[in-house]
Each structure stands twice: as C-alpha cells, then as structure tokens.
Structure 1
C-alpha cells in the first residue's frame, strides 16, 4: 500500500485511517484512452449508424486476448446497454460484438478467452456451454453477422459485423442495440444493411493505412 501511495496511485488519509484513489490514476485513464483511441472518422461512422439506425451504436476492438468496447454513441431516446461503457471487456459470449470477434479467433484463442472470463449466465437465454457456443460461432462466421437476442440484457437485441484491415483480418466490430419489441423481421433487415454499410466504411478507413496519423483520444 505504501508503494502505491509513494507512486501517487493511492492517498493515505491518516486522520481517517483509510486510503483513497490517487491523482496518477487520472493520467492512467487518459493514457488508456489514447492506447485504445478511436480515430475521428471511425467515431463519425458510429455516430451516423446511431442516427440512421435509431439505436445505440458501438465500436469494439481486440486488445490482447480481450474484446473491448472502444467507443459508444447513444442518446436519451436510444441509450446504450448498461454497463457497455468505454473499456468494457466482459461477456463476449453473450454480446453481439463479442461473438463476431470470437468467431474470427482460433479455437485456442477462444479457449484462452473463456478460461479468463468464463461463460456466466446473464439471462435465461445466455449460452453457457462451450459446444453450443462453438456451433453458434460457426454460424456467425458463415453469415458474417452476429445477432444476440436477450442473451446479455433482458428485453434487448443486438447485432454486430466485423471490421477488417488491409490484410483482411478482423480488427474490430460495429454493433447496435435496441429493445427486442422494436426489432421485427423488417427492422432486422434494415439494421443489417446499416451495419454492413458502416462496417464497410470503417474497414475502408483501416485499409487506408492512415489510422495512426488520425487517431485521437476516444
């Protein structure tokens, strides 16, 4: 604890006999945003997706063995799913963006992820068996889109499509969420079209080779 105090990660309130978070944590947060920073053109694509789809829009990326939410665009009328904020990296087995990115991993990489995070049951519809998830990921890979119907949050439906770089490798995913009661067969088709348009736009940017020059704080 004293080492953390000396490094400004904790503050020792001696008279109150307790510790609180230190000032350096703020700089760590800024550094994390820079490391996972989402370029302005990509944020603009997610903002357009949110507006056109009339649903919360998300951009998730790989970070090591994790699947991490890097950017969210929502509004009071179309709020994000809680707790899907910047840095969320849990429950890939139960989220649409998680499943599309898991579908691009090798079996060994999926195993590594699940050994760390597990497959906790979040709703009555959450998949908690590895064989069932593997079969589902094969279907996701074939279709090129992941749907999640009330597996993460009751009453909510999500969909996601992968983003590829110049080598054709998945680097992230774009996603939307909306109340299940509003997602009819026709709405699914509209959301899929908008997601594919957005994924194409974001992929085009990542294929351009100017990602690092344009990256800004998320």
Structure 2
C-alpha cells in the first residue's frame, strides 16, 4: 500500500498561485486566478491579501492586477550570495573599496523596482548604505536606468502606464518623456547616472552586467557623497564601473556560451 504525501490545503493553494506566475502572463487579477485554479473567489481573495501583506505579491496602481512581489527576490538574493555572480562581485567590490573607499552595489530588476543583491559599504562616516533586499523605483536610480535602457518601448509602457512618475526627491525624473530622454543617454554613454534622485547630496554611476546574449541582467553602481567628488574620484568611479561590469559579464556569463 503506497503512502500518500500529507497536504495542507491552504499551503497548496499558495503554491498553486506561485506556479501560475511561471506561465506566459506576468500579472493576473482576482477573477483570473480564481478561475484558473478553480478556487472560490472569497478564499482566493483572502490568500492574495495575505501574500500581498507579506510582500510575496504586489499590485499595480489600480490594486487589481497581481504580480510576484519583492519578498521572493529577497529570498532569492540570499541564495545568490553564494552564487558565481555575487561571489565575483564581492571580490571586485573589495578592490573598489581599497582604491576609492566608496560604496559599491550590485542590483537586479524586480518588476518596476531595483533590488540590491550585493554591496560593499564605504568606510567613511558619511556614506550611502543600501541594504541587500532593499528595493527602490527603477527610474530614480542609476542602476535602474541601466536596466530600463535594455527594455523595449512596449515593456517600458507596461512598467510605466502613466506619464507622471513617482518622485523620491525633488531631483527625481518625474515624467515618462524625460525618462525616455535619460534612457537614450544611457544607451549612448554606456553609464547610468543618479544625481541626488534617490538621496539628496549623493551622486551615483552605474553600468550594465550582460549575459552571453548581450542582455542586461544586473548592474554595478558606485555612490559618492557630493562633498567628496573631485575630477580624480569621478574618473576613478567610471573606470571601475567599466572594469567591474566587463569582468562580471565575462567571468560569470560568457563562460556559459
């Protein structure tokens, strides 16, 4: 007589919802989830609200379309600390700290947010200190602009259906048209910039880490308080961004060809 694996119905339903997002669609509404999984709308709603409050799901601005939330990416980032990408980044970041002593970060895209999955913090008392798992609006960060610059107009419009964008500081890009102009500069220059758009008084430069097909999969950035920026420091920041992105792309992804 074969033994049966014990099941917890509510847990099964949560897992079914997660697995639904492995399909072709990125977002689903309550009705679609309920019908797809043959679950009562009332209990589906309660489970979705629970997952939403815990960060495992998030909604668009209407509050009706659900997608995978930041918490899964945070868990994934913890796992990735031991992966090749974050391991190689850690070695390069140590060199950047030794040379520039300015905070350097590794980030990926999580929906319309930037998610930090690696960082080495400056030893200066005055410094920018993003934490692993922290997420920020893509358009307000240097790394976010680098990641957005790789997307098509259709993909950008899906992330930003409205012309007005969320402001983090008074310097944050606040319109979709201005964002498009900024992304074109990123494509031409090869660098993304954040001039006080996330934190007043902190400037940041970022570059793209690309996979074997040339697609941007992550971004490396270096953040410097304005009071410490000199021509020499700014030049060093650009040199290290270029070098670190090339090293990560080659060591982690090109070897997979």
TM over 0.5: yes
Residues of 1 paired with 2:170 and 2:111: CA distance?
Answer: 30
Higher radius of gyration, 1 or 2: 2
Query: Can you list the C-alpha shifts for 1:91-145, whole angstroms capped at 9, x where unaligned?
Result: 11111111111111112222233359x7321222111111011001101111000
Q: Which moved more, 1:131-140 or 1:54-63?
A: 54-63
Aligned to 1:178: 224
Residues of 1 paired with 2:100 and 2:77: CA distance?
Answer: 29
- The residue correspondences of 1:129-208 to structure 2 (distance < 5 A) are 129-205=175-251, 206-208=253-255
Question: Do the aligned partners of 1:175 and 1:195 also contact (CA within 8 Å) in 2?
Answer: yes
Across the two proteins, how many residue pairs are aligned to each other? 185
Query: Can you list the C-alpha shifts for 1:11-52, whole angstroms capped at 9, x where unaligned?
Result: xxxxxxxxxxxxxxxxx8756521676422232122222332
Question: Do the aligned partners of 2:107 and 2:218 also contact (CA within 8 Å) in 1?
Answer: yes
Query: Can you list the C-alpha shifts for 1:155-208, whole angstroms capped at 9, x where unaligned?
Result: 000000001111111111110101012223332221101111111111111211
Aligned to 1:215: none
Question: Do the aligned partners of 1:95 and 1:152 also contact (CA within 8 Å) in 2?
Answer: yes
Residues of 1 paired with 2:186 and 2:237: CA distance?
Answer: 16
Residues of 1 paired with 2:157 and 2:125: CA distance?
Answer: 34
Specify the SS of the correspondent of 1:177.
strand
With the length of structure 1 as denominator, give the TM-score of the two structures: 0.74
Query: Which consecutive residues of structure 1, in runs of 5 or more, have no partner in the other structure?
Result: 8-27, 211-218
Q: Which has the higher contact order (CA 8 A, sep 6+)?
A: 1
Residues of 1 paired with 2:219 and 2:168: CA distance?
Answer: 22
- The residue correspondences of 1:86-125 to structure 2 (distance < 5 A) are 86-115=132-161, 119-125=165-171
Query: Which consecutive residues of structure 2, in runs of 5 or more, have no partner in the other structure?
Result: 1-9, 15-71
With the length of structure 2 as denominator, give the TM-score of the two structures: 0.63
Question: Do the aligned partners of 1:100 and 1:145 also contact (CA within 8 Å) in 2?
Answer: yes
Question: Do the aligned partners of 1:47 and 1:57 also contact (CA within 8 Å) in 2?
Answer: no
